[in-house]
Homo-oligomer: A and B are copies of this chain.
Amino acid sequence: MSKVRIGLVGIGSMGTAHAQYLIANEVEGAELTAVCEQSEERLQMFAEEFGSSVACYNSYEAMLDSGLVDGVLIATPHYFHPEQAIKALNKNLHVLIEKPGGVYTKQVREMNEAAAKAGKVFSIMFNQRTNPLYCKLKELISSGELGEVRRMNWIITDWYRSQSYYDSSGWRATWANEGGGVLINQAAHQLDLWQWATGLMPTRIRAFCSFGKHRNIEVENEVTAYAEYENGATGVFVTSVCESPGTNRFEVTGDRGKIVIEDGKMTFSRLRVLESEFNSTFKGGFGQPECWKFEVPVVGKNPQHKGITQNWVDAINKGTPLIASGEEGIKGLMLSNAMLLSTWTDNWVDLPIDEDLFYKKLQENIRNSRSTKNPLESRTLNVSGTH
């Protein structure tokens, strides 16, 4: 079996991290054969070090047409993802894109259609789906171990970003270029995990976004969202990038008790009988079901980005099912879009959302933008410790 020849698009902060593990041959069945980068400075630096084995392009089209790549890994700013992905799929290349799939759901839908037409493997870098903690949660919910889900509360505020971070890239935190803030960038992972691990999408959402809180940016950087589900369950999702040290605590209650993920550990407070069963038979005053609290053993490490790239390569080489397919990538983005739309309309948003209304409101924000940032200006950040 020949190796999948990967073309890497964008060698900024995230792209450089991808290049490193690919060049170190840490993804089995794959090799980095080409990179493409708009910044002459970055491209030259890369060429000086790796130019002998990796072809360097400043034109995306030239790389796609080079015959040197079977698939592309796209690590450009978000707003390039849909266009670049569709171009590659239309040239019969496999595609793996950094999250988010797009800024609005219609973009992901179009990529999925192009992938289906080309019959190529299209995946999105949801590198938290390979986190054993959330894999375990998914298993405990889907197997019925927790009973019917009733209430959720996820506080995910440990994505601290300083003003300096926002100032480092001209495209960041602007409506025109990043297309959003914490929802589209940092918390995109948790929004994806929220629906993926629980298997639940809300029927409607009421959300409250703060824009440019404690920071000189125009997009949302603190969000509280309330969600309602078909089975009567409710959920709260809170995210912020201006808190330190922040919290990452996900609580899910069900008919069988409560699971809490915090500090990298999973605690299960498990009832011996279902709450609903206890309630229907108990005849006393203040009693409640017997509960056993324990830490759930969670085995393994999260292979992160490399794990998703490996899965994409395996899907190409051996037909391995995708961990994060394009079809699935739309769901977290739907939640994200719904939260902004609810804030913009100061009202409930039913799901699936009105895609045209979201697009219209986003364009209004772009037109009304007062950002003076230059999207082409940026400096490379060390992304170790980020996701």
Contacts and interface: CB of A to CB of B under 8 A. Distances in A.
Interface in A150-171: 150-151, 153, 155, 157, 160-165, 168
Contact of A381 (B215, B246, B285): B285
Count the copies: 2
Interface string A24-47: 000000000000000000000000
Nearest to A234: B224
Interface residues of A, number: 60
B162 A282 contact: yes
A78 interface: no
A308 interface: no
Q: A151, A214, A244 — which one has the most chain B CB atoms within 10 A of its CB? A: A244
A184 to B, nearest CB: 18
Contacts of A289: 244
B243 A150 contact: yes
B284 A243 contact: no
A253 interface: yes
B244 A275 contact: yes
A247 to B, nearest CB: 6
Interface string A370-387: 000000000001110110
Contact of A214 (B214, B279, B286, B288): B279
Nearest to A247: B251
A164 to B, nearest CB: 5
Interface in A343-387: 381-383, 385-386
A110 B272 CA distance: 48
Contacts of A161: 286
A112 interface: no
A242 interface: yes
Given A153-B155, A206-B206, A253 B243 contact: yes
A82 B383 CA distance: 61
A327 to B, nearest CB: 31
Given A164-B283, A232-B213, A285-B168, A155 B251 contact: yes
Given A164-B282, A206-B206, A206-B208, 17 more contacts: A151-B157, A151-B243, A162-B279, A163-B280, A165-B286, A208-B234, A210-B234, A213-B232, A215-B279, A236-B238, A244-B271, A245-B258, A245-B288, A247-B258, A285-B382, A286-B382, A286-B383
Interface of A: 150-151, 153, 155, 157, 160-165, 168, 206, 208, 210, 213-215, 222, 224, 226, 228, 232, 234, 236, 238, 240, 242-247, 251, 253, 257-258, 260, 269, 271, 275-276, 278-280, 282-289, 291, 293, 381-383, 385-386
